[in-house]
Amino acid sequence: MTKVVLGFDLEPLIVQIDKILPSRKTPMGVATSKKFTQIRSSIAEIGLIEPLSVAAGDPKTGQHILLDGHIRLLALQ
């Protein structure tokens, strides 16, 4: 049997929102969509349940690249 190597850290990393760079452009109209409104309301009521997925970017600036959670990031901003 081979050992499975994880592709992520088990411990959450706290990163300032302004230090997260999206890896893709947000489509037009997302900020007015029903899904965005639901996510924003959920974050306001309960908090962020599913954390954003980021990869290390520039260690000098502390920037990180957003891999998953683009709409959540937009709602947090």
Q: How much is the pLDDT for 19?
A: 95
Can you give the pLDDT at residue 68?
A: 94
Instruction: Identify which of 19, 35, 34, 17 has the alpha carbon closest to the alpha carbon of residue 73.
Output: 17
* CA proximity to 34, closest of 45, 24, 42: 42
pLDDT tens figures, 21-71: 999 998 899 999 999 999 999 999 999 999 999 998 888 999 999 999 999
Cα separation, 28 vs 57, in Å, equals: 26
| Cβ count near 42 (within 10 Å) | 14
For the whole model, what pTM was predicted?
A: 0.81
**Residue 53, beta-bridge partner list:** 68
pLDDT at 10: 83
Q: What is the band of 7 on the pLDDT scale with cuts at 50, 70, 90?
A: confident
Main-chain phi, psi angles of 65, to 5 degrees: -100, 130
